[in-house]
């Protein structure tokens, strides 16, 4: 009896073990490991796809090289690509691609091919989102390639590196409006206060000229708010937190701390520059070395801030979960796996080749535009002034001048007179991108009392302009801004509409010969007590001035 009981128990245990083994799911088959030929195939497809995405990539390059604050984007994108490859390597270079990857891939190529024909913006009150901003197609393109060849598992694990592609435009425009300018004012105030504290008050005209104008070799007021350093430290902290796999609260603390550290060290830089001013005044050799002193102080302090941040975050390393073991790779692919990869590669190649013609056209257009910009860069102010009409009806060009942005001439303006009438200004925005002068004036503290789209009779027919009336108690002004091609003029976008709206803007600002050029007019006069009467008189004078201008011809001259 005992032996029978034991035998029965053993059989039961064996049966339970077999049942348990059957209930455990079998591990997934090992993913095929890419061979050299496969890697060459994928690299070729990426290259062809990049040509199809040329319009987006070249637009990003223009953004990065136009504004020093946005130039960090050219580092963020390669970091995102390298971290994505790192995740793929951790997954054993598996190739479990899905056909669903074609959807974001083709959508990205479509956005690139028709970027000049369609621009969609979602506006919710003061917040706007450009649905076809270059960063969105770039993210779709990267995600599509990962899903198509690596598969969903790699895509999910590479969520952060791919999200970095959305930071290709690293600074939102609203931040520049509501953050950059107030920080510039605060930084300049702190620099002045520190100068007073050390007994070097910038009260005399000479000291003001040295400290707050470019004559001394460095300019303390604009561009000194530390946003570039704080932004760089913020992204460094964001990537460091991801690599360390810290918790979300600690990750947020890293990022906020990095931004704060960058800004604090910028304030230290400003105070150090004030000390340098104090020492250098009266010593011509040190005065001429001021610009390099700014670079050296800024570079050393930023390096110190970076080292300090990395030391702080490495003091207490949280426990990092061990990486998942790399699945073994089979010696050869199965026939089905080989066929699936070949078909996905063929369809990807065909999809990319369909859009290679618009990509090549974008490259050629960009090259022509770049050559024209280089040519414009070599144009002297006198040559630019010659492009303005000398006579506009009864108005005669009295004087002309330019304004610079980031070391490049960005505005060409001319003042016209007719008898005893007020001086009327005609201006042209030179860079190949949209610009509304009302935004610039509001950034400088001029708020319009009235603003709406106004129809004017121009030298080539009826046209609408985004028109506003300004009055600051000293000067009354009327101004209008429009986007004019050689064929027509449209009003530049005015105020942000209230509520939730979707706007479509197909205006092309980049194709030389047919692009839209931002052109504005403005008339100023001493303040009159009766604002309604002043507005009526200025509006009447503006209609006379605008009626004498052929905006199509002005746009043609500045293509």
Question: In the prediction, which pLDDT does 82 show?
Answer: 95
DSSP assigned state of 508: -
Looking at the DSSP assignment, which residues form a beta bridge with residue 409?
A: 404
Exposure letters 512-548 (e unless 16+ CB within 10 A, then b):
eeebbbbbbbbbbbeeeeeeeebbebbbebbebbbeb
From the number of C-beta atoms within 10 Å of its C-beta (0-12, 13-18, 19+), residue 482 rates as: buried
| Alpha helices for 24-72 (secondary structure H) | 36-52, 54-66
Local confidence pLDDT in tens for the 559 residues of the chain? 444 444 444 455 444 444 444 444 444 555 555 678 888 889 999 999 999 999 899 989 988 887 777 888 999 999 999 999 999 999 888 888 899 999 999 999 998 888 876 666 665 555 566 767 889 999 999 999 999 999 999 999 999 999 999 999 888 766 666 666 667 667 767 777 777 777 766 655 444 454 544 444 444 544 455 677 788 888 988 999 899 888 899 899 888 888 888 888 888 887 887 787 777 766 776 766 666 776 777 778 778 877 877 777 666 554 444 445 444 444 456 777 788 888 999 999 998 998 998 889 888 888 776 776 655 556 788 888 999 999 998 899 999 999 887 667 889 999 999 887 778 999 999 888 888 898 888 877 788 888 988 899 998 888 989 999 998 888 899 999 999 999 888 888 754 455 555 566 678 888 888 889 999 999 998 887 777 888 888 999 999 999 999 999 999 999 8
The Cα 428–Cα 401 span in angstroms is: 11
Burial class of residue 407 (count of CB atoms within 10 Å of its CB; 0-12, 13-18, 19+): exposed
Domain spans of the chain, in order of start? 36-170+334-376, 200-313, 381-557
Give me the pLDDT at residue 216, please: 47
What's the confidence (pLDDT) of residue 411?
Answer: 92
Rounded Cα–Cα distance for residues 182 and 201 (Å): 22
The CB density around residue 225, as the number of other CB atoms within 10 Å, is: 24
What is the Cα–Cα distance from 109 to 359, expressed in whole angstroms? 9
Supply the DSSP string of 191-245, one letter for each residue: HHHHHHHTT--TTSHHHHHHHHSGGGS--SSTT-SSHHHHHHHHHHHHHHHHHHT
Between CA 72 and CA 235 the distance in angstroms is: 9
């Amino acid at each position: 009896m005992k032996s029978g009981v034991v035998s029965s128990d053993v059989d039961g245990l064996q049966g339970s073990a077999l049942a348990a083994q059957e209930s455990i799911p079998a591990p997934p088959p090992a993913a095929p490991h890419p061979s050299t030929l496969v890697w060459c195939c994928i690299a070729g497809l990426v290259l062809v796809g990049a040509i199809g995405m040329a319009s987006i990539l070249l637009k990003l390059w223009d953004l990065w090289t136009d504004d020093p604050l946005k130039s960090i984007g050219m580092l963020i994108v390669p970091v995102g690509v390298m971290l994505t490859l790192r995740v793929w390597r951790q997954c054993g270079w598996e190739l479990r691609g899905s056909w669903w990857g074609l959807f974001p891939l083709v959508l990205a190529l479509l956005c690139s091919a028709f970027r000049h024909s369609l621009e969609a913006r979602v506006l919710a009150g003061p917040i706007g989102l450009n649905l076809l901003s270059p960063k969105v197609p770039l993210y779709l393109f990267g995600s599509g390639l990962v899903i198509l060849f690596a598969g969903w598992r790699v895509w999910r694990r590479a969520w952060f590196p791919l999200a970095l592609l959305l930071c290709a435009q690293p600074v939102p425009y609203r931040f520049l409006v509501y953050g950059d300018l107030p920080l510039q004012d605060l930084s300049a105030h702190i620099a002045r206060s520190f100068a007073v504290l050390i007994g070097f008050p910038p009260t005399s005209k000479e000291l003001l000229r040295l400290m707050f104008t470019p004559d001394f070799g460095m300019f303390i007021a604009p561009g000194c708010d530390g946003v570039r350093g704080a932004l760089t430290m913020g992204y460094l902290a964001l990537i460091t937190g991801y690599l360390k796999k810290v918790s979300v609260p600690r990750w947020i603390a890293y990022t906020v701390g990095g931004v704060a550290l960058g800004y604090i060290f910028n304030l230290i830089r400003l105070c150090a520059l004030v000390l340098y001013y104090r020492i250098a005044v009266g010593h011509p050799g040190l005065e001429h070395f001021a610009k390099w002193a700014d670079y050296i102080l800024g570079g050393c302090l930023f390096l110190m801030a970076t080292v300090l941040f990395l030391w702080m975050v490495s003091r207490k390393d949280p426990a990092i979960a061990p990486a998942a073991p790399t699945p073994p790779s089979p010696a050869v692919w199965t026939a089905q796996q080989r066929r699936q990869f070949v078909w996905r590669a063929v369809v990807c190649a065909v999809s990319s080749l369909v859009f290679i013609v618009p990509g090549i056209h974008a490259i050629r257009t960009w090259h022509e535009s770049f050559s024209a910009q280089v040519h414009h860069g070599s144009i002297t102010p006198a040559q630019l002034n010659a492009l303005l009409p000398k006579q506009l009806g009864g108005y005669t060009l009295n004087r002309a001048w330019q304004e610079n942005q980031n070391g490049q001439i960005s505005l060409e303006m001319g003042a016209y007179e007719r008898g005893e009438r007020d001086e009327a200004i005609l201006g042209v925005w030179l860079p190949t991108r949209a610009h509304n002068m009302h935004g610039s004036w509001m950034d400088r503290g001029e708020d319009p009392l009235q603003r709406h789209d106004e129809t004017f009779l121009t030298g080539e027919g009826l046209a609408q302009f985004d028109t506003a009336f300004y009055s600051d108690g000293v000067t009354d002004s009327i101004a209008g801004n429009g986007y004019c091609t050689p064929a027509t003029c449209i009003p530049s976008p005015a105020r942000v509409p209230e509520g939730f709206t979707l706007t479509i803007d197909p205006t092309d600002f980049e194709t030389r010969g047919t692009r839209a050029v931002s052109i504005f007019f403005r008339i100023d006069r001493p303040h009159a007590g009766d604002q309604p009467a002043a507005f009526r008189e200025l509006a009447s004078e503006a209609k006379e001035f605008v009626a004498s201008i052929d905006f199509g011809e002005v746009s043609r001259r500045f293509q």
